[in-house]
Amino acid sequence: MLSVILTCFLTSLLLTPVVRKIVLRFDITDKPDKRRINVVPIPSLGGVAIFIAFLIGIFSLPIDKTLMWPLVIGASVVVLTGILDDIFELQARYKMLGQVIAAGIIVFWGGINITFINLPFGGEIHFGILSIPLTIIWIVAISNAINLIDGLDGLAAGVSTIALLTIMGMAFVMGDPLVIMITAVLAASTLGFLPYNFYPAKIFMGDTGALFLGYIIAILSLMGFKNVTFISLIVPVLILGVPIFDTILAIIRRVVHRTPIAMADKSHLHHSLMKLGFTHRQTVILIYGISMLFSLFALIFTMSTFWGSFLLIFILLIVVEFFVEVLGLVSQNYRPVMRLLRMERVEHEEEQE
């Protein structure tokens, strides 16, 4: 197993500069514009190196290949969609179609879906035919969430690696060797790419890499936490807290400002942190830290009692709300908690006078 992990890491590490030379030759680059942070053209399609390293690892693992073929075929559809988008900038509907097809492959062929959950006070909720659309929505949503945070050098690769290592740790505790091996292979492939992608980036993973990482992470979270209790179902959401909350806030922000949901903006978490004065590198490292904090919450959550879990979620939501208001992630005028605290402070000062 260690030899397979090392092979994936070295393959990605050695293949990434080769991919960079090829895409430079064909001028497949992310050119500066009002949506991007980079000020010079940066080669894209780095996700191809991650994907190839992952494939080598998957087919080197001593596991039943029954699930691997749907996983590989679905991932190939996602990667192809990403490549076409990186080169030709596909319309949103075609990009979404590719993701839905890939999700459908793993659901219908691979049999990956959440069929029911156990309620905290007894009983079960069976999703029935809704399990299929719900699973597809989850996979597509996580794929796009990873893609949305891919706005700074090394951000998506680093956050994805942190999520993967957390899922691997949880799978180890739950005794799931299949998830452990797949996660280790993908983490190694991503880490091999990261030295070229960290600030200042020599190559971007593009939608090719971001959608691929999101796709596999979404599936791994389903494999590791399917058919669990209602409370435990929150664990993968916590592990993927940064991309999920950033995506939810982006949707809320666009609804509030009455702009198209698919329209890009510069008010994501990383943009807001940089507006506060953090450098590019500091912002990325800070978001790494936030991702690790979410992962820590997920680990503590699994060991908590029922009421302890609710208390933990309440504290986390308060912390998230505080960050949302301070950073203006919804709008600069959305600060209900801060206004309430300010009013209470003023009243307290008036009482003292």
Give the residue ranges of the annotated binding site for Mg(2+): 147, 207
Residue (of 146, 189, 164) closest to 50 by Cα position: 189
DSSP 17-66: HHHHHHHHHTT-EE---TT-S-SS-EE--THHHHHHHHHHHHTTSSS-TT
As a whole number of angstroms, the distance between CA 149 and CA 141 comes to 13
Instruction: Quote the DSSP letter at residue 278.
Output: -
Given a contact cutoff of 8 angstroms between Cβ atoms, the answer to whether 202 and 44 are in contact is no
Chain CA centroid to CA 333, Å: 28
The widest CA-to-CA distance across the chain, in whole angstroms, is 74
CB proximity list for 153: less than 8 A, separation 6 or greater: 37, 197, 198, 199, 200, 201, 204, 280, 284
Show binding-site residues.
Answer: 147, 207
As a whole number of angstroms, the distance between CA 73 and CA 287 comes to 32
Burial tier of 95 (Cβ tally within 10 Å: 0-12, 13-18, 19+): buried
Query: What are the two backbone dihedrals, phi and then psi, of residue 150, each rounded to the nearest 5 degrees?
Result: -80, 60
SS3 309: helix
As a whole number of angstroms, the distance between CA 13 and CA 35 comes to 29
The stretches of the chain forming alpha helices (DSSP H) are 2-25, 47-58, 68-88, 92-104, 131-148, 155-174, 177-197, 206-225, 234-239, 241-256, 269-275, 280-303, 306-327, 336-352
